[in-house]
Chains A and B, each alone.
Chain A
Amino acid sequence: GENVEQHPSTLSVQEGDSAVIKCTYSDSASNYFPWYKQELGKRPQLIIDIRSNVGEKKDQRIAVTLNKTAKHFSLHITETQPEDSAVYFCAARYSSASKIIFGSGTRLSIRP
């Protein structure tokens, strides 16, 4: 069935280091992969997205890579800062139903 797996569930990195979060999806026809950031008590907000016709996309310190063959995509945050601490959710749009399925989230903590 439709499923998005996300790892790790928690991640702690030293300020200034890089963080990587990985996700896999089950439907090979999925064509849109957004990443959302959710700070404590707040709404999820889109930080970056990638479509299936692109292998990599970068926006300042964040980047997303997509491997369609392996059906996995990753979020990369470089030069991490305290304000990067939050829960990050990957998601995939399943084209058969045009609905977005979310991963279970990664709680990222940045150590000073």
Chain B
Amino acid sequence: EAGVVQSPRYKIIEKKQPVAFWCNPISGHNTLYWYLQNLGQGPELLIRYENEEAVDDSQLPKDRFSAERLKGVDSTLKIQPAELGDSAVYLCASSRAGHLGSGRNTGELFFGEGSRLTVL
């Protein structure tokens, strides 16, 4: 089974430039998450999708960040314009269901390798 795929793995841009990250979740996983991870910190949730619907975007800085998950599969996270403080790793994760079910592994998050952003 293919894992969560993210691209690009690394991106270096100058401040005020736009940047976009792409995520392809595990096939059949209807829940998709975007997390931000600063160095030495735990992942912080930015947005969560159930299929194509964004059900939790309360932590997404909507003045510069946007996300979409057209057709409920792949997702794109965009930052425009980027600021110095946006330098971080952007992690995408997927899970089989949005709530705990009876399955042993239901609810487990599978993470991608992450996209490391450096804003100069």
Instruction: Mark A residues whose CB is within 8 Å of B.
Output: 4, 6, 31-32, 34, 36, 42-46, 49, 51, 89, 91, 93, 97-105, 107
Contact = CB atoms under 8 A, between A and B. Distances in A.
Interface of B: 33, 35, 40-45, 48, 55-56, 91, 98-100, 107-109, 111-114
Contacts of A97: 56
A44 B111 contact: yes
Nearest to A93: B107
A104 B41 contact: yes
B42 A98 contact: no
B113 to A, nearest CB: 5
B54 to A, nearest CB: 12
Contacts of B45: 99-101
B111 A45 contact: yes
A75 to B, nearest CB: 14
Contacts of B41: 104-105
Contacts of A100: 33, 45, 109
A36 B93 CA distance: 13
Contacts of B40: 105, 107
Nearest to B112: A43
A80 to B, nearest CB: 21
B100 A6 contact: no
Given A98-B55, A100-B45, A102-B43, 18 more contacts: A4-B42, A6-B42, A32-B100, A34-B107, A34-B109, A36-B109, A43-B111, A44-B109, A46-B109, A49-B107, A49-B108, A89-B43, A99-B56, A102-B35, A102-B42, A102-B44, A105-B41, A107-B40
Nearest to A101: B45
Given A51-B100, A93-B100, A42 B43 contact: no
B100 A46 contact: no
